[in-house]
Amino acid sequence: MDLIKYVQEKYIDKKDFPSFKAGDTITVYYEIKEGQKTRTQFFKGVVIQLRGTGATKTFTIRKMSGDVGVERVFPINMPALQKIEVNREGRVRRARIYYFRNLRGKKARIKDKSFGGK
């Protein structure tokens, strides 16, 4: 077990991303390779869950594309990740907000943390 931690700390470079949690709305900028070209694409949505620790940490983001919900799981140390912006801090009472998948319209709004969540 200590050997795994040693290798992760020594050889996997840690990127400096802002802290965020479930309920926050974030924008993730990541690089896409198409043949010889690379371009930056962004994915903006609500964080549904954070899972794992250290180098194996992942987070799931959900956004609505028309009427279809799209979820994407990002590893925190994915080499293609360029930056993460926290757009809004939400106030939720769960660490993993799976119930958010079933909500539609005005019910799917998450209260802002900045206004005390009232």
Domains annotated for the chain, with CATH where assigned, are 15-96 (2.30.30.790)
Extract the runs of DSSP E, i.e. beta strands, from the chain: 25-34, 37-51, 58-65, 68-75, 81-88
Of 9-13, 52-56, 80-84, the one with minimum mean pLDDT is 9-13
Q: What is the pLDDT of residue 53?
A: 83
What whole-number distance in Å separates Cα of residue 32 and Cα of residue 15?
Answer: 18
Any idea what the Cα angle at residue 72 is, between residues 69 and 78, rounded to 5°?
165
Q: What is the pLDDT of residue 118?
A: 54
Q: What share of the chain is helix, strand, coil (3-state, %, to 5)?
A: 20, 45, 40
What whole-number distance in Å separates Cα of residue 89 and Cα of residue 100?
Answer: 16
Binned at pLDDT 50, 70 and 90, residue 116 comes out as low
pLDDT in tens, 73-85: 999 888 888 899 9
